[in-house]
Amino acid sequence: MDKIVIEGGHPLQGEIAISGAKNAALPLICATLLSPGPHVLENVPDLRDTRTMLALLESLGATWSRDGDTLTIDTSGLNNFEASYDLVKTMRASVLVLGPLLARMNRARVSLPGGCAIGARPINFHLQGFQQLGVRHQLDQGYVDASVDGRMEGATICFDIPSVTATENILMGAVLAKGDTVIKNAAREPEIGNLVDMLNGMGAKIKGRGSDTLLIKGVTRLKPARIRVVPDRIETGTFLIAVGAIGGELTLSNCDPALLPSLYAKLGAAGVKVREEKDRLHVARREPLRAVDIKTMPFPGFPTDLQAQMMALMCFSNGLSLITETIFENRFMHVAELHRMGADIRIDGHSAIVTGTGGLRGAPVMATDLRASASLVIAGLAAEGITEISRVYHLDRGYDDLVGKLSRVGAVIHRQPA
Ligand code: EPU
């Protein structure tokens, strides 16, 4: 298996163009199932997860082509309603085909995703929501077998807690349902706004974009879409935090500064300056790093997808930092790996107490999930000596050309093929 090898201690200097967001691209690709015809998606990152999602669509009868970062997907030939275990087990977001398949084919058989490294991650909110829209389902050999007679029926759905993919799934089902659907306590992540824009562009009638209440007036048909994927706020945040750890000065282009309100406040308090300018961000650290506390929350709170990276950053401060994870029950897998680099971190339930020691030392470490891997890259960039990260296929799932982008701004990093 490939490794990433990093020689730490080289500040970052220059400009990085941010790619489209993985977690926006995945639901947009699924939404193409809602209407036959060629759909055009721009700014689509070339990731293992986007390729897996395209393989899934292909298995359902769709065809696609890529020209640079533009994808054309034709779902006219849709002829299958089963998302197989082989595909779903490698990427939980595959469950996002459930809503579109039920809306277009009145039937969907989707493998249950099972557990994952960061928590149990059930899909009960998705299934309860569809049940309220008139869908029957049963579990058959590890598959959710769901069907509805004719169109789904609009209903009022209230989530116990805001779930990103459950909001997206129900939204994609409800746009073609009979009558009105209201989603209360909807997730407000910007990637959902991107999906609302795509669906409204296809002829759907959705109000409440960006709020926790979405009102959907069902329509009978949609037309093919043309949409641009929003910039990846988690990739953006990862580079901002990297500069905090190693120092230097970076400009991030093609990003949306409005998407990370909670991160700038924390970075500012830690001594990392971020300046916003239209679709660019400038980041630099010229003062010693200060310890800050963070608590992950649904948007616009501090994103769980940046918790691991922020923890790596805090290892380089000289103070105490309390990091509380409220979204997933097992998202501290990076702690044991950071220990191997000399970090002083104690876990107490949902919190981690980081005692910043001012630095880390390079070591062989293992990536355990996507964002944990990004935290190890940040730790390696700023640590003394050499860090070797194995199991880098996790990084390939969600970061577009991470090694290339970092090496072009002064990092000493390369990928070592197995
Ligand atoms: N939950 C349930 N039942 C459900 C759905 C969710 O109990 O049916 C719980 C989850 O277990 C979790 C909480 O609700 O405790 C919120 O999870 P959510 O459903 O919002 O997560 P998700 O939709 O599965 C997306 C992102 C994740 C990101 C989370 C939180 C995609 C494809 N994935 O997951 O991204 O961490 O929202 O923001 O959008 C990543 O990119 O590395 C990643 C894990």
Q: What is the pLDDT along the chain (418 residues), one digit of tens a residue?
A: 899 999 999 999 999 999 999 999 999 999 999 999 999 999 999 999 999 999 999 999 999 999 999 999 999 999 999 999 999 888 999 999 999 999 999 999 999 886 677 777 889 999 999 999 999 999 999 999 999 999 999 999 999 999 999 999 999 999 999 999 999 999 999 999 999 999 999 999 999 999 999 999 999 999 999 999 999 999 999 999 999 999 999 999 999 999 998 999 999 999 999 999 999 999 999 899 999 999 999 999 999 999 999 999 999 999 999 999 999 988 999 999 999 999 999 999 999 999 999 999 999 999 999 999 999 999 999 999 999 999 999 999 999 999 999 999 999 999 999 8
Cis-peptide into 300, omega within 30 deg: yes
- Measure Cα distances from 118 to 114, 160, 365 in Å: 12, 20, 18
How far, in Å, CA of 208 to CA of 395, rounded? 34
Our mutation pick for probing the ligand 1 site, out of 327, 370, 373, 399, counting the most ligand atoms within 8 A of Cβ, is: 327
For ligand 1, is residue 157 a contact (CB within 6 Å)?
no
Our mutation pick for probing the ligand 1 site, out of 19, 23, 230, counting the most ligand atoms within 8 A of Cβ, is: 23
CB contact set of 404 (below 8 Å; sequence gap of 6+): none
Strand pairing class (344-348; 351-355)? antiparallel
For ligand 1, is residue 166 a contact (CB within 6 Å)?
yes
pLDDT at 167: 98
How far, in Å, CA of 144 to CA of 342, rounded? 45
For ligand 1, is residue 163 a contact (CB within 6 Å)?
yes
For ligand 1, is residue 125 a contact (CB within 6 Å)?
yes
Query: Quick check: pTM over 0.85?
Result: yes
How far, in Å, CA of 370 to CA of 368, rounded? 7
For ligand 1, is residue 126 a contact (CB within 6 Å)?
yes
* R_g (Cα) of the chain, nearest Å: 21
pLDDT at 306: 98
Q: Which atom of ligand 1 is nearest to the CA of 163?
A: 20
CA 381 vs. chain centroid, Å, equals: 23
Amino acid in the structure at residue 277: E
- Measure Cα distances from 154 to 96, 178, 204, 222 in Å: 19, 6, 14, 17
How far, in Å, CA of 148 to CA of 104, rounded? 11
What is the distance in angstroms between the CA of the first residue and the CA of the last residue of the chain? Answer: 5
For ligand 1, is residue 167 a contact (CB within 6 Å)?
no
For ligand 1, is residue 328 a contact (CB within 6 Å)?
yes
For ligand 1, is residue 164 a contact (CB within 6 Å)?
yes
pLDDT at 117: 78
For ligand 1, is residue 115 a contact (CB within 6 Å)?
no
Q: Which atom of ligand 1 is nearest to the CA of 168?
A: 23
Give distance in angstroms: CA of 25 to centre of ligand 1. 15
Q: Which atom of ligand 1 is nearest to the CA of 121?
A: 11
Our separate counts of H helices and E strands in the chain read: 14, 24
Our mutation pick for probing the ligand 1 site, out of 163, 262, 329, counting the most ligand atoms within 8 A of Cβ, is: 163
How far, in Å, CA of 192 to CA of 38, rounded? 22
How far, in Å, CA of 39 to CA of 36, rounded? 9
Q: Which residues are annotated as catalytic? A: 116
Give distance in angstroms: CA of 398 to centre of ligand 1. 15
How far, in Å, CA of 271 to CA of 356, rounded? 14
How far, in Å, CA of 298 to CA of 114, rounded? 23
How far, in Å, CA of 260 to CA of 84, rounded? 35
pLDDT at 204: 98
Give distance in angstroms: CA of 112 to centre of ligand 1. 15
What domains lie within the chain, and their CATH numbers?
Answer: 2-19+231-417 (3.65.10.10), 22-228 (3.65.10.10)
CA angle 405, 406, 407 (to 5 degrees): 95
pLDDT at 115: 62
Main-chain phi, psi angles of 329, to 5 degrees: -85, -10
Give distance in angstroms: CA of 115 to centre of ligand 1. 12
Our mutation pick for probing the ligand 1 site, out of 165, 171, 234, 396, counting the most ligand atoms within 8 A of Cβ, is: 165
Which residue's CA is the nearest one to ligand 1's atom 24?
A: 165
How far, in Å, CA of 308 to CA of 366, rounded? 14
For tokens 């062989």, name the residue: 364
For ligand 1, is residue 33 a contact (CB within 6 Å)?
no
CA 172 vs. chain centroid, Å, equals: 18
SS3 assignment, position 384: strand
For ligand 1, is residue 331 a contact (CB within 6 Å)?
no
